[in-house]
Amino acid sequence: MRLSSPFIFASNSVTRIMIWVVLALIPGIVAQVIYFGWGVIINAAIAIASALLFETLILSLRKRPVAPSLLDGSAIVTALLLAISLPPLTPWWIPFVGTGFAIVIAKHLYGGLGYNPFNPAMIGYAMLLIAFPKQMTAWLLPVMLADHPLTFSQLLQYSLHTHLPNSLSLDAVTGASPLDLVKTQTRLGQTIPMVLEQSSNRFGSLAGIGWEWINVWFLVGGLVLMARRIISWHIPLAMLTALIVMAGIFYLIDPNLYASPLFHLMSGATMLGAFFIATDPVTAATTVKGRLVYGALIGVLLYIIRQWGGYPDAIAFAVLLINMAVPTIDYYTKPRVFGEGRGN
């Protein structure tokens, strides 16, 4: 019996939210499979298995009931988000170590679900990027551009034994992402139109073959989450608007040096970040105004790091850095209480 009212409840639960997040990720994952092969599925399988393993382990160590936490689905979502962010061609221990770090260090050492100040998946990603830059920066070329697209079994071979077919070298199957290409080439003194022309086969119609469609499908998934009221529109809209504004200003200043807003919007992990990573409720701002500020700050920082930082993409660092500001943002964006501050 409940001690206190209310006695009726909306049929919502943490598990339901997590299930919807997983479902909404599917279109983007499918697009990733289409353009970069089965690597993401292999990574996801390894990451989810290790997430469940680590979650069970750490919950037993913490003497907490295991079943409710495993069933809430949060570990699976963390694993899936990390797996999507990883390069499709990667040794098995990359998702394993990354997930372990995310679950044990970023989530449970801070107190478990709901208590972690930083997005666990992005902590895992950032750790891997810093500790294993070689494995983390080798992205496969899109399937349609590769001379020898890797099959499922070849990818699995690489994952388990770090072994490519004899005829292929790592350099032959991987290549810089469009974001990377634009960044390095402009630093070498080339203008953006020149880069685009030279690598016209890489930059489809918007922002790079493969990437643009993956972004479109993550956008679709995100809109589904919004329609289901799993996430609110504030963070994605603020973040994407800030990115467009930042990119737009510099694009207007010098289109030879700065890529267009559309390019930024549709490349890298922009849509995944806007709808699935920045919106993680645990680590995001919670007030309405706070969410707008939080999203906008991520958008600004994303552009700054992409443009002037050391990494081609910056979702993880932008989100993690703004995660730190969340308590302050929430404190200064408290809503007006009913009846207060209207002078009546």
Q: Which of 162, 194, 196, 166 is nearest to 179 (CA)?
A: 196
3-state helix, strand, coil in the chain (%, to 5): 65, 0, 35
Name the residue nearer to other proteins (CB basis): 180 or 228: 228
Residue 7: Cβ-neighbour burial (10 angstroms; 0-12, 13-18, 19+): exposed
Contact indicator for 264, 304 with CB cutoff of 8 Å: no
Contact indicator for 144, 180 with CB cutoff of 8 Å: no
Residue 252: partners with Cβ closer than 8 Å, 6 or more residues away = none
* Min dist. Cβ of residue 15 to other proteins (A): 8
Give residue 337's region: left, alpha or beta (phi > 0; psi -120 to 50).
beta
Contact indicator for 164, 154 with CB cutoff of 8 Å: yes
* Min dist. Cβ of residue 287 to other proteins (A): 7
Name the residue nearer to other proteins (CB basis): 4 or 167: 4
* Cβ neighbours, 10 Å, residue 191: 14
Q: Which residues bind other proteins (CB under 8 A)?
A: 1-10, 12-14, 16-17, 68, 72, 74, 112-115, 232, 281-282, 284, 286-288, 330, 334-340, 342, 344
Distance CA 217, CA 75 (A): 23
CA distances to 27, 78, 127 from 180, rounded to whole Å, are 25, 26, 20
* Min dist. Cβ of residue 326 to other proteins (A): 9
* Min dist. Cβ of residue 113 to other proteins (A): 5
The string of DSSP codes covering 195-232 is HHHHTTTTS-SSSSTTHHHHHHHHHHHHHHHHHTTSS-
Name the residue nearer to other proteins (CB basis): 60 or 286: 286
* Min dist. Cβ of residue 224 to other proteins (A): 17
* Min dist. Cβ of residue 264 to other proteins (A): 28
Go through 259-287 and write b for each residue having 16 or more CB atoms within 10 A of its CB, e for each that does not. bbbebbbbbbbbbbbbbbbbbbebbbbeb
Name the residue nearer to other proteins (CB basis): 107 or 306: 107
* Min dist. Cβ of residue 6 to other proteins (A): 3
Name the residue nearer to other proteins (CB basis): 230 or 305: 230
* Min dist. Cβ of residue 65 to other proteins (A): 9
Distance CA 204, CA 169 (A): 25
Name the residue nearer to other proteins (CB basis): 64 or 148: 64
Beta strands in the chain (DSSP E): 139-140, 174-175
* Min dist. Cβ of residue 281 to other proteins (A): 4
Is residue 265 classed as helix, strand or coil in its secondary structure? helix
Name the residue nearer to other proteins (CB basis): 3 or 188: 3
Name the residue nearer to other proteins (CB basis): 17 or 244: 17
* Cβ neighbours, 10 Å, residue 208: 25
Name the residue nearer to other proteins (CB basis): 155 or 231: 231
